[in-house]
Structure 1
Amino acid sequence: MSETPGWSSPDQPPNQPQQPPPGYHAPPPPGAQPSIKPGVIPLRPLAVGEIVDGAIATMRRYPKLIIGAAAVVAALTQIIGLLAQLPFLDDVTALATIDPNALTEEQLAEQLQNSLVSLLGGTLLSLLPLLFGTVFLSGFITVVVGHAVLGEPVTFAQAWDEFKPRLLPLLGATLLAGLLITVGLVFCAVPGVYLWVLFALVTPALVLERCGVGTAFGRSKNLVKGAWWRTFGVLLLTVVIGMVISWIISLPFQLLGAASTGFSADPAAALSIGSLLLSTVGAIIASTITLPFSAAVTVLLYVDRRMRAEGMDIELQRAAGHGGR
Structure 2
Amino acid sequence: MNDSPGWATPGSPSDGQGSDADRPAAPPAGDGKWSAAQPPPGQWSSPGTTPPPAPAPAPPAPPQPQPQPPAGWGSYGSPSQQPGAPYGYPGGPGGWGGPPAAAKPGVIPLRPLGLGEILDGAVSTLRGHWRSVLSVSLVVAALCQTGLLFVQRAVVDSSLLTTGRRPTDEELADQLGNTAFLYGAQYFLEALGLFLVTALLAPVVSRAVLGRPSSVSDTLKAVRPLAPRMAGLIAVLLLGALAAAFVPALPGILTGNVTAAALGVPVGLVLLAWFYVTFVLAPPALMLERGSIADALKRSAKLVRGSWWRIFGISLLTWILRTITAGIIVMPFAGIALFIAPGGFSGLLDGTAATSWTFLIITALGGIVGSAVTVPMQTGVTTLLYVDQRIRREALDLELARAADQGGAGPVTGG
1:1-325 to structure 2, matched below 5 A, reads 31-79=98-146, 81-82=148-149, 88=154, 92-99=156-163, 101=165, 134-186=194-246, 187=248, 188=267, 189-260=269-340, 261-264=343-346, 265-325=349-409
CA RMSD of aligned residues (A): 3.1
In 2 relative to 1, CA 266–194 (structure 1 residues): closer, same or farther, beyond 3 Å?
Answer: same
Aligned residues: 290
More helix by share: 1
Aligned AA (2:244): G
> Deviations along 1:147-182, whole A, 9 cap, x unmatched?
111011222112111111222212222222222233
Identity over aligned pairs, percent: 34
Following the alignment from structure 1 to structure 2, what is the Cα–Cα distance between the partners of residues 233 and 118?
28
Q: Hey, what's the Cα distance between the residues in 2 that align with 1:193 and 1:129?
A: 16
Instruction: Describe the shift of the 1:113–1:248 C-alpha distance in structure 2 as closer, same or farther (beyond 3 A).
Output: closer
**CA positional deviation for 1:304:** 0.3
- 1:120 positional shift: 5.6
TM-score (norm 2): 0.63
* One-letter amino acid of the structure 1 residue matched with residue 232 of structure 2: G
CA contact (8 A) 2:391 2:397 kept: yes
* TM-score normalised by length of structure 1: 0.79
Gap change, CA 1:257 and 1:206, over 3 Å in 2: same
Higher Rg of the two aligned structures: 2
- CA distance in structure 1 between the partners assigned to 2:189 and 2:300 by the alignment: 26
Give CA-to-partner distance per residue, 1:219-265, whole Å, 9 cap, x none: 01110111111111111111111111111111222222233332112
Three-state SS of the structure 2 residue aligned to 1:196 is helix
Matches of 1:82 and 1:219 in 2, distance apart?
Answer: 36
Q: d(CA) in 1 for partners of 2:194 and 2:136?
A: 11
Query: Cα offset for 1:113?
Result: 6.4
1:101 Cα deviation (Å)?
3.7
**Match of 1:22?**
none
Report if the CA contact (8 A) 1:95-1:112 is conserved. Answer: no
CA contact (8 A) 1:150 1:316 kept: yes
SS in 2 for 1:97: coil
Alignment partners' CA distance in 2, 1:275 and 1:109: 29
Q: Is the 8 Å Cα contact of residues 184 and 192 (structure 1) preserved in structure 2?
A: yes
Q: Using the alignment, how far apart are the partners of 1:240 and 1:30 within structure 2? A: 40
Any unmatched runs of 5+ in structure 2? 1-95, 249-266, 410-415
In structure 2, relative to structure 1, the CA distance for the partners of 1:230 and 1:131 (3 Å cut) is: closer
Distance 1:127 1:247, change over 3 A: closer
Tell me the distance in 1 between the aligned counterparts of 2:354 and 2:383.
37
Q: Highest relative contact order (Cα 8 Å, sep 6+), 1 or 2?
A: 1
Question: Aligned with 1:263: secondary structure?
Answer: helix
Task: Measure the CA separation in 2 of the matches of 1:313 and 1:64.
Answer: 27
Name the stretch that deviates more: 283-292 or 72-81.
Answer: 72-81
> Cα distance, 1:206 vs. partner?
0.7
Letter aligned with residue 262 of structure 1:
G
**Residues of 2 paired with 1:314 and 1:173: CA distance?**
29
- Contact 1:135–1:171 (CA<8 Å) still a contact in 2? no
8 A contact 1:66–1:292 mirrored in 2: yes
For 1:190 and 1:38, how far apart are their aligned partners in 2? 39
Name the stretch that deviates more: 245-254 or 211-220. 245-254
Q: CA deviation at 1:131?
A: 6.9
Unaligned runs of 5+ in 1: 1-28
2:133 partner amino acid: I
**C-alpha separation between the residues in 1 aligned to 2:151 and 2:245?**
27
